[in-house]
Homo-oligomer: A and B are copies of this chain.
Amino acid sequence: MLVLTILGNNSAIPAFGRNPTAQVLQMDEEHFLIDCGEGTQLQMAKYKIRRSKINHIFISHLHGDHYFGLIGLITSMSLLNRTQDLHLYGPTPLEHIINYQLNVAATTLSYRLYFHGITTEGVIAEDEKFLVKSFAVKHRIECWGFLFAQKKNPRRIDPIRVKSYEVPSSFYEKLQKGEDYITRKGTIIPNEELTIASSPTKSYAYCADTIFDETLAERVKGVDLLYHETTYLKESADKAAARFHCTTEQAGTIAYKAGAQKLLIGHFSSRYETLHEFLSETMEVFENTELAVEGACYRI
């Protein structure tokens, strides 16, 4: 199961109680922090997300509303005597920004911080259960989107069936790899008879800050949940383009073309006090849309 928690949904300047961008994606046991605007550690405290659960942080780009809270979080983790490794992924200059500030403070972190500079599209993090891919998005400066996907689980052994067919436990590994079982009498028991299908894998795509770019739809094709920015309402399409941002209508178009199951919109401009028009305008193009609301959890 994937659960996405929104910690900030505003663009540029904090306004109307809305904070800059930060999200936490829980994927099975892992908690991924995606972007980290100023005050993210306070938002984490508010919404009961423990700093110690985060082992991977992904920063899309170096506009302040997406990373000014990072140095504070990294420092606090050390002040709280964290010991487990932390993996940080982002544009390459981020490494200097972090290290320089730690150096002038004479700070040696209590844990190992591994910095992974993103330079090309492709897999940037992976283990047995998950995969994270970066994809380039078109913004005013270098900017990366992230695709988070559960890996296809092997079929699980059915404990009742293996017992009834008297399959020796030494054969279990082969069963999980998909082999059929042949009994001592030579009868073939098909793999599907002895194993249970896993639940389908889920995926989440975070498109960060981007100008309207239809090629994006290809890269997030068939995703279960798509996060796409809607900095402006559709009447401000010119302003959006000039600033390398998108409107409601454009986000809906990307979700439709990508065949996403569901669309989540955020990164609202500080000029808007209320958000209901963002939702209604986007739903005209793509019905299964929700507003990214601070503190809310979205199950995927």
Using a CB–CB cutoff of 8 Å, the interface residues on chain A facing chain B are 12-14, 38-39, 41-42, 45, 62-64, 68-69, 71-72, 75-76, 79-80, 91, 93, 96-97, 100-101, 104-106, 140-141
Contact = CB atoms under 8 A, between A and B. Distances in A.
Contact of A38 (B45, B72, B97): B72
Given A96-B100, A104-B62, A80 B13 contact: yes
A25 to B, nearest CB: 23
Copies of this chain, complex-wide, total: 2
Contacts of A63: 105
A62 B14 contact: no
B14 A42 contact: yes
Contact of A68 (B14, B72, B93, B141): B72
Contacts of A69: 38
Nearest to A100: B97
B104 A12 contact: no
Contacts of A12: 76, 79
A64 B106 CA distance: 11
A119 to B, nearest CB: 15
23 contacts: A12-B79, A13-B76, A13-B80, A38-B39, A38-B41, A38-B42, A38-B69, A38-B72, A39-B42, A62-B104, A62-B105, A64-B72, A64-B75, A68-B68, A68-B71, A68-B72, A91-B104, A93-B104, A97-B104, A100-B100, A105-B141, A106-B140, A106-B141
A92 B195 CA distance: 65
A101 B97 contact: yes
A214 B45 CA distance: 38
B64 A13 contact: no
A37 to B, nearest CB: 8
A136 to B, nearest CB: 16
A189 B12 CA distance: 63
